[in-house]
Chain A
């Protein structure tokens, strides 16, 4: 019963992640176009501009430098999320095979941590040149993701070592 529910939940999560991955794959290439449309329509509304000035911490109109840094930021977010989701699908597959405590799971979690920290560095550098609240929020989110996945990767590594020792005890 327990085994069944774990693998069933993992399967459910995997299909949800497939959906997210496909959606990301579909949306990521058109981010530039989406933002352009967004800028031309919603951003030109009077009240929204005020809100945007407040939330982006900018003093006046958004300069082209700020705009393109934002585009780069959102592209990076899309690519990082695609990468992380692909690693999560890998972990789900190994959980379904009932061999979650493996080197491959450890490696996948480590990749997630490294990808998160790399994007954190980018967001912080971007924040120094073009201060904006969303970037800072993303940085905090990715710091948390990176820390959690690096801690869990160490946990899985330890578990894999113990499992190997147990497997080779005759």
Chain B
């Protein structure tokens, strides 16, 4: 499964959720869905905005982990 490591990257950049929301223009509700791994899909525009606000690569935010059954 794909894991979103948004909180790790936000901690590295010392940015709060509201701050990121202001910078990217994505609502805090949607960012919290993304952060808590509830999201089912991510738009490229969202990923673009997040990466430009956090000055990182998509690989820094997303991670693949094999499913444990």
Contacts and interface: CB of A to CB of B under 8 A. Distances in A.
A133 B48 CA distance: 68
Interface in B23-42: 26, 30-31, 33-34, 38-42
B46 interface: yes
For chain A, give the interface size range.
under 10
A161 to B, nearest CB: 11
Tell me the interface secondary structure of chain A in the complex.
Answer: mixed
Contacts of A170: 26, 30-31, 33-34, 39, 41-43, 46
Contacts of A168: 33, 38-41
For chain B, give the interface size range.
10 to 19
Interface in A130-170: 164-165, 168-170
Interface of A: 164-165, 168-170
22 contacts: A164-B40, A165-B40, A168-B33, A168-B38, A168-B39, A168-B40, A168-B41, A169-B39, A169-B40, A169-B41, A169-B42, A169-B43, A170-B26, A170-B30, A170-B31, A170-B33, A170-B34, A170-B39, A170-B41, A170-B42, A170-B43, A170-B46
